[in-house]
Amino acid sequence: MRPKGISVAKSDTATKPGTFWGNRLREERERRKLTLREVGEICHLSISQLSKIESGKARMTVETALLISNALDIPVVSFFAPTDKKMSGARSITRNGQAVVNANQNIRFEVLSSDLKDKKALYWRVTVNARSLAEAGWRSHFGEEFLYVLSGTLELHSSFYDPLVLETGDSIVFDGNMDHSYVSISEAPAVLIMSNLMP
């Protein structure tokens, strides 16, 4: 879902066929034995748009990646590749209440700086509503993940370590390839700042 009136940067800049995000989309689609038409119906995207992304003729925006990742139940960061390009003084501002939102009953992701191109990291404000591991589920993705607890108490589960309790003001960086999960154990939902750093 997305708040009304929010404009998101769009791009159909041509790139070489076989781009990282195009290959990832094809891999996930074929793994689920879905056609482009079926993915398009789930994500509410056109076959033409999906085909261009897969072939590298169009770039995948954060908003498009959110739609696809939510529909296929995979981390959105999986679609973004590392880049060798240097920063050129670009900046991106996200005003309060104007972030692109991807949410379900257990977790809410607000994308910060969604219009910034050629990202080396993704930034989020995350509200964790899940109260158990069963509700939260597991996730993994390429690159490092940084968490900072703004409010509430988070229980971080991972495949390599015992559950870790993070209080307000605590932070952690860990390998995103490791299966991990977020559970709120405070009275109010845990609210985090998250960054996914690309490999």
Question: Which one-letter amino acid corresponds to residue 164?
Answer: L
pLDDT per residue over 150-196, tens digit each?
Answer: 999 999 999 999 999 999 999 999 999 999 999 999 999 999 999 99
Residue keyed to tokens 């309790």: 165
CB atoms within 10 A of CB 41: 13
How far are the Cα atoms of 49, 78, 105, 171 from residue 12, in angstroms, in the given order? 9, 20, 32, 37
- pLDDT of 20 reads 78
- pLDDT of 5 reads 34
Provide φ and ψ at 191, rounded to 5°. Answer: -115, 130
Q: Is the pLDDT of residue 14 over 70?
A: no
Q: Is the pLDDT of residue 3 over 60?
A: no
pLDDT per residue over 60-98, tens digit each?
Answer: 887 888 888 888 878 777 776 554 556 567 788 999 989
pLDDT per residue over 156-169, tens digit each?
Answer: 999 999 999 999 99
All CATH 1.10.260.40 domain ranges of the chain, comma separated, are: 20-79
In the predicted model, what is the mean pLDDT of the chain?
Answer: 84
CATH of domain 20-79: 1.10.260.40
Show the beta-strand stretches assigned E in 20-153: 100-103, 107-112, 121-128, 144-151
Q: Is the pLDDT of residue 45 over 60?
A: yes
CATH of domain 100-197: 2.60.120.10
All CATH 2.60.120.10 domain ranges of the chain, comma separated, are: 100-197
Any bridge partners for residue 103, and if so which? 108
